[in-house]
């Protein structure tokens, strides 16, 4: 299909080029050769009269024109894809749609597992793909359909959002650490601590004047480090409960530190206008309510250690639902 000398099939290539920031990864995404995508980029540049991608450091970046083009382009393509898959009286649960959910590993462990079991119970063949990320800007670039992060963390205020679930903060130390039992917030913040290295998993510590952390680690690695050192850490209650079963950890009482954190789900505006997407967002919200009501699920850390990454989670029933980890390559 052509419109004023532009083959509209090139819009799919344009989206891949802008999201992936270059022909190489765009070609991988589209399952095309790099020369074919490079030729498409040349034609798109000629059509729009803009470079679209410019050299910045060792990589490529979007021009201001391309930055403004990406959002409307993705919205238009989402509408087109919704039209293509539409069927009379189609059940959203049987659509076979894949939804990318961007969040940290901890939230994926406790929440996406709940969401998958909920969808499995209704016999759905919808796929949830976990997209690891370190910054919400990746979501703005269209690398996932849904973003879940801490309420205190860096957000995407331009997108619709809701609270999924909440849980208390736990302060942990090694059982061999005799100096950590009851502390004020100031004392806790002055001690050597381990904090999350992932921006999407930051924000558990109380506010106040803090000493520089002794170490930064992925959130799921913090309990193991604390168990073998004199470092302290503030982590989600669910994470502390997971690792207390297998590691020498104890709780530290921090006066004035009793806090509850909330996890927020963000989704792009265009998703709210499509029936399958509205259904998926609604089911995610229901899964969050179930997690709040149940107080989290019992999670066996020992079994998690042996689970290879990038492999679908197998459920104990016949279903096509899976959690798949999709690696985000460096920009």
Query: pLDDT class for 329, splitting at 50, 70, 90?
Result: very low
Non-local (6+) Cβ contacts of 63 within 8 A are 50, 51, 52, 53, 54
CATH architecture of 90-331: 3-Layer(aba) Sandwich (3.40)
Q: How many other CB atoms are there within 10 angstroms of residue 303's CB atom?
A: 8
Fold adopted by 2-85 = Arc Repressor Mutant, subunit A (1.10.10)
Mean pLDDT of 312-324: 39
Q: Which of 164-168, 249-253, 259-263, 272-276 has the lowest mean pLDDT?
A: 272-276
The alpha-helical segments, DSSP class H, found in the chain are: 10-20, 23-30, 34-48, 64-85, 105-107, 113-121, 137-140, 185-190, 222-227, 237-244, 275-294, 301-305
95 vs 217, residue with greater confidence: 217
Parse the chain into domains and list their residue ranges: 2-85, 90-331
Give the DSSP H or E segment for 101. Answer: strand 98-102
Pairing of strands 146-150, 98-102: parallel
User: Which tens digits make up the pLDDT trace of 208-261?
Assistant: 666 677 789 999 999 999 999 999 999 999 999 989 999 999 999 998 888 888
Mean pLDDT of 26-42: 88
Whole-model pTM?
0.65
Mean pLDDT of 291-300: 58
DSSP 313: P
Does residue 324 carry a pLDDT above 60? no
Does residue 271 carry a pLDDT above 70? no
Pairing of strands 215-217, 194-196: parallel
Torsion of CA 112, 117, 120, 126, to 10 degrees: 0
d(CA 100, CA 107): 14
Query: pLDDT class for 327, splitting at 50, 70, 90?
Result: very low
214 token code pair: 């002794």
| pLDDT computed for residue 232 by the predictor | 94
| pLDDT computed for residue 236 by the predictor | 93
Q: What are phi and psi of 84, to 5 degrees?
A: -65, -40
Does residue 2 carry a pLDDT above 50? no
């Amino acid at each position: 299909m052509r419109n004023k000398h532009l083959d509209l099939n090139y819009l799919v290539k344009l989206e891949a080029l802008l999201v992936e920031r270059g022909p190489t990864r765009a070609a991988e995404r589209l399952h095309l050769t790099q020369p074919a995508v490079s030729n498409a980029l040349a034609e798109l540049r000629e059509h729009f009269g803009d470079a679209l991608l410019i050299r910045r450091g060792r990589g490529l970046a979007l021009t201001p024109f391309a930055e403004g083009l990406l959002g409307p382009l993705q919205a238009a393509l989402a509408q087109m894809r919704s039209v293509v898959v539409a069927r009379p009286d189609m059940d959203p649960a049987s659509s076979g749609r894949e939804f990318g959910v961007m969040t940290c590993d901890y939230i994926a462990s406790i929440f996406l597992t709940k969401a998958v079991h909920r969808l499995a119970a209704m016999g759905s063949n919808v796929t949830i793909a976990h997209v690891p990320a370190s910054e919400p800007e990746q979501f703005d670039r269209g690398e996932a359909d849904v973003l879940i992060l801490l309420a205190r963390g860096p957000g995407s205020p331009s997108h619709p959002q809701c609270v999924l679930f909440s849980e208390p903060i736990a302060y942990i130390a090694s059982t061999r650490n005799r100096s950590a039992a009851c502390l004020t917030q100031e004392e806790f913040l002055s001690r050597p601590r381990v904090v999350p290295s992932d921006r999407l998993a930051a924000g558990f510590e109380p506010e106040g004047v803090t000493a520089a952390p002794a170490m930064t680690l992925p959130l799921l690695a913090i309990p193991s480090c604390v168990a073998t050192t004199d470092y302290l850490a503030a982590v989600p209650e669910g994470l502390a409960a997971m690792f207390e079963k297998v590691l020498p950890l104890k709780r530290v009482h921090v006066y004035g530190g009793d806090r509850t954190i909330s996890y927020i789900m963000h989704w792009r505006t265009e998703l709210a206008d499509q029936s399958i997407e509205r259904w998926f967002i609604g089911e995610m919200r229901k899964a969050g309510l179930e997690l709040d009501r149940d107080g989290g699920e019992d999670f066996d850390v020992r079994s998690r250690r042996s689970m290879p990454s990038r492999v679908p989670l197998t459920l104990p029933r016949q279903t096509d639902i899976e959690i798949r980890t999709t690696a985000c390559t460096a920009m």
